[in-house]
Amino acid sequence: MKQQIFERIRSLGQLSRIEVAKDLGVSAGSVTTLTSELLQDGYLEETRSAPRDVTRGRPKVALQVRRSAGYVAGIKISNEAHTAVVVDFAGRPVGEARLSAEQGAGTLEGLLDAAQKIFAMAVADAGLARGDVSAVGVGLPGMVDHASGIWLWSPLLNERRIPIRDLLTERVGLPVQIDNDVNLLTLAELWYGAGRSVSDFAVVTIEQGVGMGLVLGHNLYRGAHGFGMELGHVKVQLDGALCRCGRRGCLEAYIADYALVREAHVALGLVNRPTGASSSVLLESLYDQAKAGNEAARTIFRRAARFLALTLANVVNLFDPPLIILSGERMRYDYLYEDDTLEEAKTMTLDKGRPDTRIEIHAWGDWVWARGAATLALSALTDARLAGEAA
């Protein structure tokens, strides 16, 4: 119960004891006892918030997390740029860093070096010493077994089954937790975003690949082995286009960056004159062409949007979530979620009078992923500290 009280206050920022008791259905007496322990241990502090009714005299006393009670770092490893944040005990960012992924790309050593470097940069940016930070969370693309700490499959390296958690722990000298990057984005939504108000929701991301995160009953669902939620490899076509996973007909092969780039070469007339441009540059120019009315470019985006509609409908038909959050870099491209796409998704879901699933678009940048990684570390740290005491 103590942990629940703490999480409630952290999630809402400031709460009075009476509000805590009401929200969690606990007696005022227990709340007073447990919060005084949290105050004594330095996890919470009192604050005088503005009175709701000035004629009633004394300002109300609220509780909030004591921000300096601990710090953790979150790192997102990616194929373009790595990002890192340091957050305080309330989960608020106090330092950040960004590092191009080019250096040391393609090798495990290079990746470990980069993680170590960006961690140090973020800690320095926060004005802290390494000893002030208690734990690190790391978000990785590909297939990650959170429980065993093994990176099963990575789009960045050729090695398989890398014991990355232990390797990173050795490098940074702190306890490390790892998870799939989309799970961590989902965790950020659960803690700080739209997910705070619902017990079940799905997150669908479109970036280099297509990912999905799922929250059931306020908890992240990970599957048994770290291979779940691979929405990008759900088959949408028998014997279809070749996917980077080696199979055919996966959603990613129709909608991910590399799939669009493959078609962009044709649409932009680049087949016989390779430009050497990065996929993001090519996609930007394809998008500009589509907006300017280039029919071939428009068709490529339109087709990707139809596959997205099909995907959303499948998620709704399978899980019936009250909310789907669409996230990721590509959400800047409005074709993906224009009314046509959402309408089309609706025509493929069972209607029979079911209420529409709310679909929200969050075109957040890299930082939210790193913040999700920090959340993983913070959650583990909080559990360890609070569970270590009498419940």
| Binding characters for Zn ion, 201-240, by CB under 5 A (x = yes) | --------------------------------x-------
Please give the DSSP secondary-structure letter assigned to residue 314: H
By beta-carbon proximity to Zn ion, the closer residue of 247 and 358 is: 247
Q: How far is the CB of 251 from Zn ion (least distance, A)?
A: 8
Q: Which of 89, 96, 164 is nearest to 132 (CA)?
A: 89
Q: Is residue 243 part of the contact set for Zn ion (CB under 5 A)?
A: yes
Measured between alpha carbons, how far is 231 from 251 in angstroms, rounded to an integer? Answer: 7
By beta-carbon proximity to Zn ion, the closer residue of 121 and 250 is: 250
By beta-carbon proximity to Zn ion, the closer residue of 130 and 225 is: 225
Q: How far is the CB of 255 from Zn ion (least distance, A)?
A: 11
Q: CA 124, 125, 131, 135: dihedral to nearest 10 degrees?
A: -130
By beta-carbon proximity to Zn ion, the closer residue of 81 and 245 is: 245
Tell me how many residues contact Zn ion (CB under 5 A): 5
Q: How far is the CB of 102 from Zn ion (least distance, A)?
A: 26
Segment lying near Zn ion (by CB under 5 A), choices 96-104, 132-140, 242-250, 294-302: 242-250
Q: How far is the CB of 142 from Zn ion (least distance, A)?
A: 12
Report yes or no: 89 and 378 within 8 Å, Cβ to Cβ. Answer: yes
Measured between alpha carbons, how far is 330 from 197 in angstroms, rounded to an integer? Answer: 25
Q: Which of 64, 336, 53, 319 is nearest to 202 (CA)?
A: 319
Measured between alpha carbons, how far is 129 from 347 in angstroms, rounded to an integer? Answer: 55
| Binding characters for Zn ion, 45-84, by CB under 5 A (x = yes) | ----------------------------------------
| Binding characters for Zn ion, 244-283, by CB under 5 A (x = yes) | -x-x--x---------------------------------
| Binding characters for Zn ion, 305-324, by CB under 5 A (x = yes) | --------------------
Q: Which of 331, 277, 274 is nearest to 304 (CA)?
A: 331
The H or E element spanning position 150 is strand 150-153
Report yes or no: 47 and 63 within 8 Å, Cβ to Cβ. Answer: yes
By beta-carbon proximity to Zn ion, the closer residue of 191 and 254 is: 254
By beta-carbon proximity to Zn ion, the closer residue of 234 and 342 is: 234
Non-local (6+) Cβ contacts of 121 within 8 A are 84, 97, 99
Q: Is residue 386 part of the contact set for Zn ion (CB under 5 A)?
A: no
Q: How far is the CB of 143 from Zn ion (least distance, A)?
A: 11
Measured between alpha carbons, how far is 210 from 52 in angstroms, rounded to an integer? Answer: 46
Measured between alpha carbons, how far is 24 from 332 in angstroms, rounded to an integer? Answer: 38
Report yes or no: 210 and 256 within 8 Å, Cβ to Cβ. Answer: yes
Measured between alpha carbons, how far is 387 from 391 in angstroms, rounded to an integer? Answer: 7
By beta-carbon proximity to Zn ion, the closer residue of 231 and 297 is: 231
Binding site for Zn ion (CB under 5 A): 233, 243, 245, 247, 250
